[in-house]
Structure 1
Amino acid sequence: MTAWIILPVSLSAFSITGIWIVYAMAVMNHHVCPVENWSYNVTCSEDTSKRGFPKSCCTIQDIPLISKCGSFPPESCLFSLIGNVGAFMVVMVCMLRYAQVIERSRRSWINTMGLITGCTNALGLVMVGNFQVDHAKSLHYIGAGVAFPAGLLFVGLQCVLTYRIAMTALDYWMAHLRVALTIVALFSLVLSGIFFIHESFLLQHAAAVCEWIFTVDILVFYGTFTYEFGAVTNDTMVIGLQHRGPVSASKACKSPGSSSTSTQLNCNPESIAML
């Protein structure tokens, strides 16, 4: 067991907790309405609700999209911090995952695309976090348009890689779990996009709900890398940076969810004999 298991857990815990704190701050500061509110008005007179309590009159400008929650200070400061720190942790997770797949298997275009899409997702997160939607709308939407599809493609590629290097029943169960999370992410992202382009208050609010589901789902997916990162060694990153072909049998036979360096009983003896 290595300390690297802390990285994906920290990414999920820090980001999920952080965006919900941003949401709570935005609600209490009357910058958005609560996610459970489905009643909207075309216009509102001066809101008489007390500070520290949710707004009593909501317009389309108060729909609790994640980006909208982080548009105004003081919550915008925390939102930017989450975007920057989260993006850095995403890059670290993607690089370690890329190196670990090479360590256990071989270089492949799927693994390379996984690294590229993961880093692209991180780049989009930086743009989303630092260019608030109400102050730099074009750049913010470009960042969101990069981050969301790239994040979805990343988790899809990781599902394929998980099946490719799976060796034990537990490995396959993890692959099944990731497929389920990817399906939820796909449907929530598609529905969010469909609902967002409509002017209906209810559909706009539904788009916000789907966006929250998508974001939390992707972050939970990143957290599942804790299962494999228990087997990361000090040489894993070095292996990922080196140009090398198929790995040795002792590495290839190592179970993704195991921290032991011993070979598994179901290794192919013929492949060992060929070395």
Structure 2
Amino acid sequence: MTLWIIFPISISLVSFVGTWTVYALAVSSNHVCSLSDWSSSNHCTGNQSTGCCFAPTISSSGTNAPENSLFTATINAGSFLFLLFCIFHHAHIMERHACHSMMSKCALAFGVVAAVGAFSAGNCNPSNVSLFHYLGAAVSFLCICFYTVLLTALTGKYVLTGYEKVLYPLRITSTVVQIIATICYTILFVQGKYFYLHLSAIFEWSLSVNLQLFELSYAVEFYFFSSFMLSNLLGRREEEKPLIIQMS
């Protein structure tokens, strides 16, 4: 059903529009510095937190009011849609290529943990509950790397659409960019100087946009998706009961 292609498109739009709107509000309120401003003259330090701006990371953009509520709503919506995306994609694999069920289940597990980590990061304000926020963000970024690797590997193994010869190299490129950007962001984020913090923010926004493009590429797969695949997945789970129950 062509209606299902709206789903990956909606995930990308919600994440893209929501996060960049939060960033725009934060910049206009002087809560974070602009991504184009590399000077550290107005950067907040340990002894100064008012009348200055923080490095423009995604988390910093959603720390203060009024944009923090929109940030939480965006992350919650994005996490929920991403969770559904993981389940729907797994249902597609189980219906069309059940021989790759183990790899698909591993990808599903990483996707679920990534969604939970993002939900934790979005609902724990870094200024109040920094431990759970950064822990959730770290878990989410790490699991998303494994998730993209597994989904890209699956693209090279199955034929769902007939366009895999085009999608496979694109997803390999996107996966490599995701991993490199995540590693660079992690290394630079722990540095103390503002230049490195600002550079880490660039990498964080880059990996966010790259993930949205990666998800958007699955509009091709979802064109061939149907609700029957979900009901079939639930039916298979119902059939997979222990033999001892059937014998009783």
The alignment partner of 1:108 has SS state of helix
User: C-alpha offsets along residues 208-232 of structure 1, whole Å, 9 cap, x if unaligned?
Assistant: 1001101111121111111100111
> TM-score w.r.t. structure 1 length?
0.80
Distance 1:32 1:155, change over 3 A: same
Distance 1:17 1:122, change over 3 A: same
2:231 to 238, 256, 259: 238
Partner amino acid, structure 1, of 2:81: M
Q: Which residues in structure 2 correspond to 1:24-39 (within 5 Å)? A: 24-39=24-39
* 8 Å CA contact retained: 1:166, 1:172: no
Moved more, 197-206 or 169-178: 169-178
Moved more, 233-242 or 23-32: 233-242
Q: How far did 1:169 drift?
A: 5.9
1:12 lines up with 2:5 in the alignment: no
Matched residues in 2 for 1:207 and 1:11: separation?
A: 24
User: Runs (4+) of structure 1 moved beyond 6 Å?
Assistant: none
Q: Unpaired runs of 5+ in structure 2?
A: 45-50, 238-248
1:83 to 71, 75, 88: 75
Q: How far did 1:134 drift?
A: 1.0
Kindly name which structure, 1 or 2, has the bigger radius of gyration based on alpha carbons: 1
* 8 Å CA contact retained: 2:14, 2:77: no
Distance 1:43 1:185, change over 3 A: closer
User: C-alpha offsets along residues 48-100 of structure 1, whole Å, 9 cap, x if unaligned?
Assistant: xxxxxxxxx85xx6100100000011100000001111111111111110010
> Could you tell me the percent identity over the aligned residues?
31
User: C-alpha offsets along residues 183-241 of structure 1, whole Å, 9 cap, x if unaligned?
Assistant: 11111110111111111211111011001101111121111111100111121112223
Distance 1:234 1:42, change over 3 A: closer
Matched residues in 2 for 1:213 and 1:241: separation?
A: 37
- 1:65 is matched with 57
User: C-alpha offsets along residues 121-166 of structure 1, whole Å, 9 cap, x if unaligned?
Assistant: 1111111111111111001011101110111111111001111113
The alignment partner of 1:235 has SS state of helix
Q: Unpaired runs of 5+ in structure 1?
A: 45-56, 245-275
Q: How far did 1:41 drift?
A: 3.5
Q: Which residues in structure 2 correspond to 1:131-170 (within 5 Å)? A: 131-166=124-159, 170=163
Distance 1:237 1:71, change over 3 A: same
| Paired positions, count | 231
Matched residues in 2 for 1:241 and 1:178: separation?
A: 29
Matched residues in 1 for 2:208 and 2:123: separation?
A: 17
| RMSD after superposition | 1.9
Partner amino acid, structure 2, of 1:77: S
The alignment partner of 1:38 has SS state of coil
